[in-house]
Amino acid sequence: MSKSKTPSVKTPQAIRGTQDIFGPEAEAFAFVVETFERVRKLYRFRRVEMPVFEKTEVFARSIGETTDIVSKEMYSFEDRGGESLTLRPEFTAGIARAFLTNGWQQHAPLKVGTHGPLFRYERPQKGRYRQFHQIDAEIIGAAEPQADVELLAMADQIIRELGIEDVTLHLNTLGDGDSRDAWRAALIEYFGAVKDELSEDSQERLEKNPLRILDSKDRRDQKFVADAPKIDAYLSDEATAFFDAVTSGLDAAGVKWKRAESLVRGLDYYRHTAFEFIPDEGSAAADALGSQSTILGGGRYDGLMESLGGAPTPAVGWAAGIERLAMLVGEKGEAPADATVVVEDDSLITEGVRSLGRLRAEGLSAEMIASGSPRKRFDKAVKAGARAIVGLSVQDGETNVRIKAEDDMTARIKAVLN
Ligand code: ATP
Ligand code: MG
């Protein structure tokens, strides 16, 4: 490190709501992504990589102007060409845009998964950031309830394979267009009668999208939510049959679920199935996450493609916050190396590098210790806790290799290095 740093130059701070993830937390983050990738392949979802920014209208039109995301959380800016662009606040809208602009209809039903950073201008707090990360899965061009079942079975398996316990799938249906409209009218009447007691936000929602009052985190609204009209009274026969097929499919797949009649998703584009995985009340998971309790959410968005100018295309998807999943995974230690190579003498560094190369080529993780006093190097290697220590020294003008390890490792390393 240089010592000539000018004291008058201040180090810039990180942007509020961003994170520098390191150590055990970074390992937990990686574990979430690796588990997602493994399970994604089991379910035969194809990988996609999406742009981090899109034209603002991609999000404004598909997510809905009255949502929290579009009305107050987007990072939008004009680029040098004067075009309004937005850092993606979610994956679905961009994937839908890509489906239309690339003609991915030919692959329908298309099962895709991705992960990466998202940006929302929210008040930073525990489990809530301005740059956060999600894993995301979508099935586009599938109208059947089996698609919902498959998508939820994958979510459930990922959470189980992460070792996360006491998290339950909360499931609701928002019905088809007709059911939703009738329910909406009933909600306007119900909440309209107590309008003055609602939060300012919900008074506004009453006109534009009363469903969203059910989603409110404000106590003044929550008081009235429990007794609000339920969707079941307004479901068409078709919508009922669809929901029955989803729930019996989940039962067959062994996915536990719980009906949540007030569950709506914040976004405009949802129809039929809506769901969230939420830690059980009083569980360690709930304690760890505090009020930011939803770890995975999604649903069916049959109306989205039309809002982007595409043909009606049924689809269903979910997203889960990697940070929140990682918090529940707990600290993941960094795994010790398979082998630590110690060179007793600096003249052996080249030999050490050669050994490292061979070990790594055989799929063994390895590091070399080649600094500090020769006597202390071996102690350092012991401390590092690798499964094997490979000591290189010079004896009678020749390189001597000593291996200290469990038996099976000794034989394996000998075979690699010879
Ligand atoms: P919330 O109700 O917590 O605001 P949301 O409905 O806005 O969540 P979605 O848009 O459905 O969340 O995103 C899915 C998941 O992404 C959430 O369940 C959560 O795990 C994660 N998530 C959303 N916003 C943030 C954020 N600002 N910081 C960290 N994780 C987030
Ligand atoms: Mg939110």
Max Cα–Cα distance, the chain, nearest Å:
96
Tell me: is residue 134 an annotated ligand-binding position.
yes
Helix residue spans in 122-270 (DSSP H): 145-161, 177-192, 200-208, 219-225, 237-253
Distance, in Å, from the CA atom of 130 to the CA atom of 400, rounded to the nearest integer, reads 55
The whole-number pLDDT of residue 191 equals 95
**Average pLDDT for the chain:** 93
pLDDT band for 335, please (50, 70, 90 cuts). Answer: confident
Average pLDDT of the segment spanning 352-368: 97
The whole-number pLDDT of residue 292 equals 58
The whole-number pLDDT of residue 67 equals 83
pLDDT band for 334, please (50, 70, 90 cuts). Answer: confident
Identify which ligand lies nearest to the alpha carbon of 215.
Answer: 1
Average pLDDT of the segment spanning 308-333: 93
Stated pTM of the model: 0.91
What atom in ligand 1 is closest to the CA of residue 69? 7
8 Å CB contact between 213 and 221: yes
The whole-number pLDDT of residue 330 equals 79
User: Does 407 or 26 have the greater pLDDT score?
Assistant: 26
Percent of all residues in the chain with a pLDDT value above 70, rounded to a whole number: 97
What atom in ligand 1 is closest to the CA of residue 129? 28
Question: Which of 308, 302, 321 is closest to 139 using CA atoms?
Answer: 302
Does residue 2 surpass a pLDDT of 70? no
What atom in ligand 1 is closest to the CA of residue 124? 27
As given in the structure block, the two tokens for residue 282 are 């009083």
Ligand 1 pocket test, candidate residues 294, 295, 322, most atoms within 8 A of CB:
294
Does residue 24 surpass a pLDDT of 60? yes
| CB of 319 shorter than 6 A to ligand 1 | yes
Q: Ligand 1: which residue has its CA nearest to atom 24?
A: 128
Q: Ligand 1: which residue has its CA nearest to atom 29?
A: 128
8 Å CB contact between 112 and 102: no
Q: How far is the CA of 321 from the centre of ligand 1 (A)?
A: 6
What atom in ligand 1 is closest to the CA of residue 265? 6
Does residue 15 surpass a pLDDT of 70? yes
Q: How far is the CA of 267 from the centre of ligand 2 (A)?
A: 10
Average pLDDT of the segment spanning 311-333: 92
Backbone phi and psi for residue 270, each to the nearest 5 degrees, phi listed first:
-80, 140
pLDDT band for 101, please (50, 70, 90 cuts). Answer: very high
As given in the structure block, the two tokens for residue 350 are 């080249």
Helices (H) and strands (E) in the chain, counts: 15, 15
Does residue 5 surpass a pLDDT of 70? no
Q: Ligand 1: which residue has its CA nearest to atom 26?
A: 128
Ligand 1 pocket test, candidate residues 216, 292, 295, 300, most atoms within 8 A of CB:
292
What atom in ligand 1 is closest to the CA of residue 293? 3
Backbone phi and psi for residue 196, each to the nearest 5 degrees, phi listed first:
-65, -20
User: Does 217 or 14 have the greater pLDDT score?
Assistant: 14
Domains of the chain by start residue, with CATH: 23-176+236-329 (3.30.930.10), 339-417 (3.40.50.800)
pLDDT band for 418, please (50, 70, 90 cuts). Answer: confident
| Helix, coil or strand: residue 46 | strand
- For the stretch 251-282, pLDDT in tens is 999 999 999 998 988 676 788 999 999 999 88
Q: Ligand 1: which residue has its CA nearest to atom 3?
A: 292
- For the stretch 103-153, pLDDT in tens is 999 999 999 999 999 999 999 988 899 999 999 999 999 999 999 999 999
The whole-number pLDDT of residue 265 equals 80
Q: Ligand 1: which residue has its CA nearest to atom 4?
A: 292
- For the stretch 230-246, pLDDT in tens is 999 999 999 999 999 99
Which residue in the block uniquely carries the two structure tokens 């119900």? Answer: 190
